[in-house]
Chain A
Amino acid sequence: MADMQVDVAIIGAGPAGVAAGIGAREAGAEDVLVLERDWDLGGILQQCIHPGFGLHAFKEELTGPEYMHRWIERAHKAGVAFLTNSMVFKMESDGSLWVMNPEKGVFHVTAKATVLAMGCRERPLGAINVPGSRPSGIFTAGTAQRFVNMEGYMPGHRTVILGSGDIGLIMARRLVWEGARVEGVFELMPWAGGLRRNIAQCLNDYGIPFYLSQTVIQVHGRDRLEGVTVAGVDEKRRPVAGTERYIACDCLLLAVGLIPENELSRMAGVDIHAATGGPVLNEFYQTSRPSIFAAGNVVIVYDLADWVSQEGVAAGRNAALYAAGILEKPVRRIEVRGGRNVRLFSPQNIVGSGDVTVYFRVLRPIEKRCRIFAEPGLFERRQRYVRPGEMNEIHLKGAALQALPETVTTITLDAEEV
Chain B
Amino acid sequence: MTDKTFDIVIVGAGIVGATLARELSAYSLRVAVIDKASDIPSGASRANSAMIHAGYDDQPGTIKADFCPIGNRLYHELAAPLDFTLKECGSYVCGFDDDDRIHLEKLLEQGRANRVPGLEIISGETLRRREPYASGDITHALRAPTGAVINNFEAVLAFIDNAQQNGVELFLETELKDLLLSADGAEVVGVATNRGRLFAPVVVNAAGVYSDLVARMAGDDSFFIRPTRGEYYIMDKRIGSLVNSFFFACPTPKGKGITVAPTAENNLLIGPTSIVQPGRDDTSTTADGLAEVIDGARRLIPSIPLNMAITAFSGLRANPDTKDFIVNVLERPLGFVNAAGIKSPGFTSAPAIACHLVELMKDRLAKRISFIPDPTFIPERKHTPRFEMLSLEEKRRLAEADPRYAQIVCRCEMVTEGQIVEAITRGARTVAAVKIWTRAGAGRCQGGFCGPRVVDILARELGVSCEEITRHGGHSRYLVGKTKDYWFRGEN
Interface residues of A (CB under 8 A from B): 1, 37, 85, 87, 89-90, 98, 100-106, 121-122, 124-127, 129, 131-136, 139-140, 142-143, 146-148, 150-157, 178-181, 217-219, 222-224, 239, 250-251, 263, 266
Contacts and interface: CB of A to CB of B under 8 A. Distances in A.
Contacts of B254: none
A126 B491 CA distance: 32
B431 to A, nearest CB: 8
Contacts of A146: 452
A150 to B, nearest CB: 8
A106 B483 contact: no
Contacts of B474: 222-223
B73 interface: no
Contact of B486 (A143, A154, A251): A154
B446 A124 contact: yes
Interface residues of B, number: 63
Nearest to B310: A126
A238 to B, nearest CB: 10
Given A143-B448, A222-B281, A153 B467 contact: yes
A136 B307 contact: no
A136 B483 contact: no
Nearest to A217: B287
Nearest to B402: A102
B449 A153 contact: no
Interface in B441-492: 444-449, 451-452, 456, 466-467, 470-487, 491-492
Given A131-B284, A153-B479, 8 more contacts: A1-B400, A100-B408, A106-B392, A126-B233, A129-B290, A153-B466, A179-B484, A266-B238
Given A85-B407, A179-B492, A223-B474, A154 B286 contact: no
A131 B287 contact: yes
Interface of B: 233-234, 238, 281-287, 289-290, 306-307, 309-313, 392, 395-396, 399-400, 403-404, 406-408, 411-412, 414, 444-449, 451-452, 456, 466-467, 470-487, 491-492
Given A129-B306, A131-B284, A153 B483 contact: yes
A135 B471 contact: yes
A133 B479 contact: no
A124 B407 contact: no
Contact of B479 (A155, A217, A223): A155
A405 to B, nearest CB: 40
Given A126-B309, A133-B283, A157-B491, A87 B408 contact: yes
A1 B403 CA distance: 13
Contacts of B475: 223-224
A150 B482 CA distance: 11
B477 A224 contact: yes
Given A131-B285, A178-B483, A105 B399 contact: yes
Contacts of A143: 447-449, 451-452
A157 B477 CA distance: 13
A410 to B, nearest CB: 27
B16 to A, nearest CB: 24
A142 B183 CA distance: 60
Given A121-B445, A125-B446, A179 B486 contact: yes
Contacts of B445: 121-122, 124
A38 B407 CA distance: 10
